[in-house]
Amino acid sequence: MRKLNPSHISAIIDMGNHQNPFIGHLSIKIKDIGVGFSVLEVDVENKHRNLYGYIHGGVYASLIDTATFWAAYGEIDEDAGMVTLELKVNYLSAIEAGKILVNGKSIKVGRTIALAEATITDIEGKTLAHGTSTLLLTPGRQTINQALNKIGLKSIPPKFIE
């Protein structure tokens, strides 16, 4: 069985936290990624709120989309990417401020489709939202390093240790 390269994961987390414009815009912090899981966190700020002062539903959706992607990432081939086909979000409770945690988990990663879920909680563990994502795998399209080079970023270590 292939083993994820810790240097690759560290580089992906660093890149996601410091060079991904969308993740940076939402102030998402990728805390951990592994085979079948991801952990994110966000300190809710004014930019995350709707006109009523609560977190915007689009923030929850973006967090679930991001966490499910990274949860499945460790199980796909090095030359494959993923595209979200469907995103389902259950909004369970609003929050005005504080730290929120997002735990992603892959449910099944096949040859062409992956299914993953994510749960968003506050710091006390209260569930705020839950969602699932169906992802289309794009095997053979390009490696992560080919994609990074296209946008002017440096290459990172290989994804797997053989």
- Residues pairing with 127 in the sheet: 121
pLDDT of residue 92: 98
Q: Which residues of the chain have pLDDT under 70?
A: 1
pLDDT of residue 5: 97
| Whether this model's pTM surpasses 0.85 | yes
Mean pLDDT over all residues of the chain? 96
pLDDT of residue 1: 65
Which residues, 6+ apart, have CB-to-CB distance to 95 below 8 Å? 44, 54, 55, 122, 128
